[in-house]
Amino acid sequence: MIPRYSDPRMAALFSDEARLGIWLEVELLAAEAWAAIGVLPASEVAKLRERAPLPTPELVEKVREREEVTDHDVAAFVDVVQAAIGGPEARFLHYGLTSSDVVDTALSATLTKAADLLIEASGALVAALARRAFEHIDTPMAGRTHGMQAEPTTFGAKCALWCLQADRDRERLRLARGRVAVGKLSGAVGTYSNIDPRVEERVCVELGLLPVPATQVIARDRHAELLWACAAAGTTVETIATEVRHLARSEVGELEEPFRPGQKGSSAMPHKRNPVLSERLSGLARVLRGYLGAGLEDVALWHERDISHSSVERIVLPDACGLTYYMLTKAAGLVDGLVVHAERMMENLTEGSLGLVFSQPVLLALVAAGMDRDAAYRIVQRDARKAHEERRSFRSVLAADPEVHLSQTELDDAFGLERSLGNIHRFTDALKEIPI
């Protein structure tokens, strides 16, 4: 991932040094497991860890140079590490293993750590949304369908629904973490022909992974599931960002992104406060969904393995995890700092809508008074259009219509926010079941 959209904590997990470091740990744990079950001499195996090189930039460079000869990254790594360890003990490195034993188990350990960061960031977004939901559950605004004002809702209700969705994303990330927290050290086609299953079990336990049956590689539906969880979380962020963008439009003016001192919204027009973060998040969600497609393509491999997935994963797995983490953390900051213009929300709901958002309660009042539903619908539809075209209060048009036989009290009830929003706290009640 380019530095602009990277976080150091996530990026560090996928650095070359970290990759070689976890490869080395798998190799050392495997040798130690062989010694623990009495196959390799424990005294000699102990020297492997004592003399193993550190995963430094210098080691990365040596492996890169060696790979120019071997044209095989794991073989180059083993050659370099064996040379650094030296002595006859070095021969026990990579004993009974195939490259995928090391690479796949190491990748699982890395993805598990990455998933932990994603779950943490997802939890922060859930908490931010919950806080704003409770803060604004009684802040009325126009609900909109098809981009048009529909009926009243509250900003807190919006936040509550986003919160519930973000919590589902968090659960998807937890499940995906479980899918990738697996390892395999079972040899060339997964049959343990040259390795004892006890070695696999010991290594996986040390790494916090579950040993699973596999071919030469761990099944890639697991990795695709993580990419799906990332894409879903990114799409939730996009959902929030898209709504912020709509409600921040000059003609609406109900929300504003946080705007720092010194920030400039436009290089040419000083008055502008563009929703640039929301636009950025909307765009990055598209990239995340593209990674999912690539991950699904990786599931079907030839026979017991090929490496058509390898080149894809070197790009999409680090980038997807990094981008999801960036988006979740930025989204939490966006929600926390969001400026809510409650007065403008009320203005748009009442004066701005001319009261047309109350057309359904009027319809139901007429039906309750005994009018045929279709006849009532046509009257309300006609009066609503008249109010719109003449820019008059919908209520005043209804009051002047001799076919509308509703009392002042009945009209008060139909146009009352209390009636429309009387059950709105069901949204925040649902949040009380969520661990924040």
- Residues involved in catalysis: 146, 266
- β-strands 148-154, 140-145: how paired? antiparallel
User: Nearest-5° angle of CA 38, CA 97, CA 297?
Assistant: 145
Burial class, 408, CB count within 10 angstroms (exposed 0-12 / middle 13-18 / buried 19+): exposed
d(CA 55, CA 22): 9
Place of tokens 């003449």: 390
Answer for the pair 163, 129: CB distance below 8 angstroms, yes or no: yes
Phi, psi of 255 (to 5 degrees): -135, 155
What is the rounded distance in angstroms from the CA atom of residue 331 to the CA atom of residue 240?
Answer: 8
**Residue for token digits 């293993």?**
97
Residue pair 179/107 in contact (Cβ under 8 Å)? The answer is no
Is 122:114 a contact under the CB 8 Å cutoff?
no
Q: Which one-letter amino acid corresponds to residue 196?
A: D
